[in-house]
Amino acid sequence: MKIINPVLRGFYSDPSVVRVGHTYYAATSTFEWWPGVRLQESTDLAHWRPLPCPLRRVSQLDMRGVPSGGGIWAPDLSYADGKFWLIFTDVKIVNGAFKDCTNYLTVADDIHGPWSEPYRLDGIGFDASLFHDADGRKYLVQQTWDFRDGHHPFDGITLTQLDPSSMRLLPETERRIWKGTDVKVTEGPHLYRKDGWYYLFCAEGGTQYEHQESVARSRSLDADSFEAMPGEPFIGNYTTPDSYLQKQGHGALFDTPSGEWYYASLCARPWRHATEPSRGVRGWCTLGRETSIQKVYWDEDGWPRVEGGPAGKREVEAPSDAIAMKGIPADASQHDDFTEKDLTLDWCTPRVPFTEKMGTTGDGTLTLYGQGSLADAFDLSLVARRWQAFDFDAEASIDFAPRTYRQMAGLTNYYNDHEWTWAYLTCEEGRTVLLTAEYDFGTLTTHREEEVMLPQGIHRLWLRTQVRTGWYTYSYSLDHKDWHEIPVRFDAAHLSDDYIAERYGGFFTGAFVGLAAVDLSGYRAPARFGHFDYRELSAEPRPDEV
C-alpha cells in the first residue's frame, strides 16, 4: 500500500497526529472558519475519514469579528491518562506588532466528544502543544511572541509546566528552551522523548516557500539547553523548486504499533501561468496548505531523517502493520439535497456557527437570510466548502426574488472578506438580473456589460462555476439543461495563499466555493437553494498552466 501525498487535499494545514492503538487521529487548523479544528481518523495513513469537529459551541470559541487569517492556529492533539487533550490558539490580531492570542485546553474521553468547555491557559505565543512526560508531568510548549520594537517577534520556544489537577499553568516554571536557528521565525513546536533524549520539532522560515522543519534535542528541559540537528533541515523545499510538494514543515512526529516512524506536515502544490518563468515565480497555491506524510528513520547519531531527503516524496510506503480503511471515497465530490436539519461536515461558515440568524436547512432546501456583504466580518450569510481539486465544477439551484439592488444572492468563489468573486441575482430598475463581480482588497468591479436580464417573473435558475487550475468562469441555466457561460474569465491566482500574502498577513486557508445571501436593506431577504453539487475532475494542475 502506498501513501499518495497530499493525503488530505485542500485546506488542511498544521497537522497534529496522535496514535491510539492501531488508529491515527489528525487535527488541523481552521483559522476563521467554523466549526473549529478539523479531525480525521485513519488506520492505514493513506485514507482518512472526517470526524465531528471538537469546537462546535460559541461558549468554546467566539470568533465573531476576528480578522481573516485569525482564529484557530495550529491545534495540538494528544492522548494521555485515558483521554484526548486538545490545545488550540485563538488569534485576534493578524497584522501589526501584536497578536493578542490566547491558548486554550479542552479534553474529551472520546474523540467524538463531547469536548469540555475550554480552560484558558496563557497568551505568551501561538502554536502551543502539550507534552506528557514519562514522570507524569505535563508541559505547554509554545512559540514566544515579542512585540517590542527592535526585537525579532519570534523569540524562541517557551516551556511552562501544567498542573493537571487545576488545568492551570505554573508561571514560575516558564523558561525558554530553544532560541531557534538563524533561519528564524521559529514556531509550531512539538516535543517528544526517545532513548533518553528530548526532541524538539519546530517550523522555521515562515509558511511560504522558505518554510522548513528544524529539530533540536537535549538531555534535559533546562533553559536554552537544546542544540540543533546538524546539516540540512529535517524537511523543507526551499532548495527544491521543482518538487511536486512545496512548503513542507510545521507538523508532528508519530510512530506505528510495530515501531515505524512517520511525520505529518503541511505542504502545498503550486501552479504557474504559462507566461510565468519557472525560476521567477514559485507558483500559486489555490488549494491552500494541505497535509503530507513522510516516512522517518533515525541515523547512527540518533537524529531523525526523512526517507528520500528533506524534500520528501510524493509516494511513501504505508506502515507494514496498516489496517486498510474501507469505504473511503476516491475523491471529495459532494452532492447535497439539503434534506438534513444540520449542515454536513463538508460545509463551513465564517467565524460563527450556522444558526437561524444565518438560515435553515432541511426538507430539500437551504434557506439563507440576507445579512452583510461578502466583505463583512461580523454578520455574513455564507456556507462554503474547500477547493480540493485543481479542476472541478460546482453548481446550485437558487430561488430568489430581490426587490432592490441592495439584495443579492448567488454562487461565490471566496478566499476571505478581502478577496472574492461571485455570480448573483439582484434587482436593477425593477427587473431581476444576473451579474458577476470581483472584490479585490476594497476595489469592487461589477461586469455590467455582461449583465443577464431574466424574463419577467422568473427568479429561479441554476448557477455553475467551472474551475480549471489557473482560471474559472460562471454559467447559468433556466432549465438545468442548456447552460450559458458568462464571458468573464477570472484569474484563479487571486484566490491563492500567495496572492493574499503579497497584500495581507492572513494567507493561510486556500480558496472556497459556496452559497451566499446579502441584504444591505436590513430586511433579511431569503434566498432558497435547492441542491449543491461539487464534482471533481482532476486533482492535478492542468499542464498548460504549469
Catalytic residue among 155, 187, 290, 336: 187
- Using CA atoms, how far apart are residues 206 and 196, in angstroms rounded to an integer? 30
CB atoms within 10 A of CB 22: 13
The answer to whether the CB of 135 falls within 8 A of the CB of 22 is no
What integer pLDDT is reported at residue 39 of this predicted model? Answer: 98
- Using CA atoms, how far apart are residues 322 and 157, in angstroms rounded to an integer? 34
> From first to last of its 546 residues, what are the pLDDT tens digits of the chain?
999 999 999 999 999 999 999 999 999 999 999 999 999 999 999 999 999 999 999 999 999 999 999 999 999 999 999 999 999 999 999 999 999 999 999 999 999 999 999 999 999 999 999 999 999 999 999 999 999 999 999 999 999 999 999 999 999 999 999 999 999 999 999 999 999 999 999 999 999 999 999 999 999 999 999 999 999 999 999 999 999 999 999 999 999 999 999 999 999 999 999 999 887 789 999 999 999 999 999 999 999 999 999 999 999 999 999 999 999 998 999 999 999 999 999 999 999 999 999 999 999 999 999 999 999 999 999 999 999 999 999 999 999 999 999 999 999 999 999 999 999 999 999 999 999 999 999 999 999 999 999 999 899 999 999 999 999 999 999 999 999 999 999 999 999 999 999 999 999 999 999 999 999 999 999 999 999 999 999 888 876 676
**CB-side neighbour CA atoms (13 Å) of 403:** 9
Domain 2-317 listed as CATH 2.115.10.20: yes
Give the Å distances, CA to CA, from 113 to 41, 139, 168, 467: 14, 24, 22, 36
- Using CA atoms, how far apart are residues 267 and 416, in angstroms rounded to an integer? 20
What integer pLDDT is reported at residue 373 of this predicted model? Answer: 98
5 is written with which cell numbers? 501525498
Q: 396 in helix, strand or coil?
A: strand
Classify domain 334-545 by CATH architecture: Sandwich (2.60)
The 8 Å CB, 24+ separation contacts for 540-543 are: 540/390, 541/269, 541/271, 541/390, 541/469, 542/271, 542/390, 542/391, 542/468, 542/469, 542/470
The answer to whether the CB of 30 falls within 8 A of the CB of 68 is no
Q: Based on the residue annotation, tell me whether 76 is a catalytic residue of this protein.
A: no
The answer to whether the CB of 516 falls within 8 A of the CB of 381 is yes
The answer to whether the CB of 456 falls within 8 A of the CB of 392 is no
User: Residue 25 phi/psi, 5° resolution?
Assistant: -125, 135
Tell how far CA 322 is from the center of its chain. Answer: 27
CB atoms within 10 A of CB 23: 12
The answer to whether the CB of 120 falls within 8 A of the CB of 180 is no
- What residues form DSSP beta bridges with 130? 140
Buried/exposed code over 67-99 (b: 16+ C-beta within 10 A; e: otherwise): bbbbbbbbbbbbebeeebbbbbbbbbebeeeeb
Specify the DSSP element, H or E, that contains 499: helix 497-501
What integer pLDDT is reported at residue 351 of this predicted model? Answer: 98
Please, what's the largest Cα pairwise distance for the chain?
Answer: 78
Nearest partner of 37 among 48, 47, 51, 58, judged by Cα? 51
- Using CA atoms, how far apart are residues 306 and 313, in angstroms rounded to an integer? 9
Our CA dihedral for 274, 275, 279, 285, rounded to 10 degrees, sits at -60
Asked if the domains at 2-317 and 334-545 fall in one CATH topology, the answer is no
- What residues form DSSP beta bridges with 163? 168
The answer to whether the CB of 436 falls within 8 A of the CB of 474 is yes
All structural domains of the chain with their residue ranges: 2-317, 334-545
Q: Based on the residue annotation, tell me whether 187 is a catalytic residue of this protein.
A: yes
- What residues form DSSP beta bridges with 291? 8, 266
